[in-house]
Amino acid sequence: MKQVTERFLTYVKHHTTSDDTASTFPSTNRQLQFADFLAKECREIGLQDIAVDRYGYVMATLAATVEGAPTIGFISHMDTSPDAEGAGVMPHIVEHYDGGSIPLSHISITPEEFPVLQNYIGDTIITADGSTLLGADDKAGIAEILTAVAYLKAHPEIPHGKIRIGFTPDEEIGRGVDFFDVEAFGADFAYTIDGGEIGELQYENFNAAHATITIKGKNVHPGSAKNVMVNAALLGAEIVAMLPEREIPAKTEGVEGFFHLVSFQGTVSSATLQYIIRDFDETTFGHRKNMMTMLVDRKKEQYPNAITLEIRDEYANMASCFKDCMYIVDLAEEAMEAVGVTPVIRPIRGGTDGARLSYMNLPCPNIFTGGHNFHGPYEFIPVKSMEKAVETIVKIAELGAKRK
């Protein structure tokens, strides 16, 4: 299992941040470079059918040791979030964590702010140096998958069916499976290894939409602005204030949805607001989109031809895709329990490639990587959690071989 740490420490040093302003796919060339690197890793393990297509998808096969078992896929994404710096990651290893603060270059990760640290006293914890994210989302998943298939390759006495692995670009900007070839992947079902703390098992996620509000103002000299000036930035602020103040990420949890103001760029002349809209319930999700439309329409009546709203659906709650195949979730739960992990089954307050793949006829629950505080400099991951993810993947393969 030492391999998983070594792989992870190597992978996080590859700069793979995606770019949501790019029109190419993948959005950054550095992801293609990492894809080629991972293909080399697959060759060194001895996998078959290794391919990197023009979109940057990496696929490979571990041949079955038993016939008649389902083909199981394991999927992780190569990119890291553009929400934080992803270049120059310098891993920081804390051995035998003592329960106190972890000082980094500019910040500290403290148990007062992150009480979950107390669960890992005595463990080895990996962080970045405080100036970048770590990249456990989702390079931990990649390291765990490749370590698991390398272990299975080295231990042919463990029965398993055909295993397919896939690594995707641009998941963090919602485009991860835009060109994913489900037929070529050829799995009966799959798992994304893209969750958080140890034990997470998820087959529900947010319904998701992205909203862009564009405002055109009228800028005149403020000394003679009465009844003439339209301040686009102020108008944007008025729209923000009209939305429910408690229905934001910082004030919601569990299955509560929200409106999240991602960015606000504005001057007197123009303003652009970027929102994401999230809700688990399909009906309530529709109400949220209608609310935003209604509030913007109200402002349009006051300021004709000044405001436009575009709402684009991103992904849907995958829960409905498992009504007739809950055995896939049960298999993962059984595997976790078999390796001493307590399953924590709860909805994802976010989304994964698996959510969209499930609607593309590839049922795909999400399994933990072990990481915490993704997308920022407070990110960390305990080594034991990564090792348990590897064990879970191996056990899923083994238990899956018994299913016909």
Residue 178 a catalytic site member: no
3-state secondary structure of 373: coil
DSSP-based three-state secondary structure for 294:
helix
Predicted confidence (pLDDT) per residue in 315-344, tens digit: 899 999 999 999 999 999 999 999 999 999
Among the listed residues 79, 137, 138, 379, the single catalytic one is 79
Tell me the three state secondary structure of residue 370: coil
pLDDT at 216 over 70: yes
Q: Which pLDDT band holds residue 403 (cuts at 50, 70, 90)?
A: confident
Cβ proximity of 48 and 63 under 8 Å: yes
5-43 pLDDT, tens digit each: 999 999 999 999 999 899 999 999 999 999 999 999 999
Extract the tokens encoding 67: 């016939």
Q: Which pLDDT value is given to residue 2?
A: 65
pLDDT band per the 50, 70, 90 thresholds, residue 350: confident
Taken as a whole, the chain contains a residue count of 404
pLDDT of residue 174: 87
Reported as a single tens digit per residue, the pLDDT across 137-160 is 999 999 999 999 999 999 999 999
Give the Cα separation of 39 and 97 in Å (integer).
Answer: 35
79 belongs to the catalytic site: yes
Phi first, then psi: what are they for 383, rounded to 5°? -60, -40
pLDDT digits (tens, 9 = 90+) for 82-102: 999 999 999 999 999 999 999
3-state secondary structure of 98: coil
Question: Which listed residue (144, 171, 247, 279) is catalytic?
Answer: 171
pLDDT averaged over every residue in the chain:
96
pTM score, two decimals? 0.89
Angle at 107 between CA 102 and CA 111, to 5 degrees: 40
Given the structure tokens 């080594």, which residue do they identify?
383
pLDDT at 177: 95
CA distance 93 to 53: 35
Q: Are 66 and 161 in contact (CB under 8 A)?
A: yes
Q: 40-85 pLDDT, tens per residue?
A: 999 999 999 999 999 999 999 999 999 999 999 999 999 999 999 9
Q: How far apart are CA 241 and CA 124, in angstroms?
A: 45
Tell me the domains of the chain and their CATH numbers.
2-204+317-400 (3.40.630.10), 208-315 (3.30.70.360)
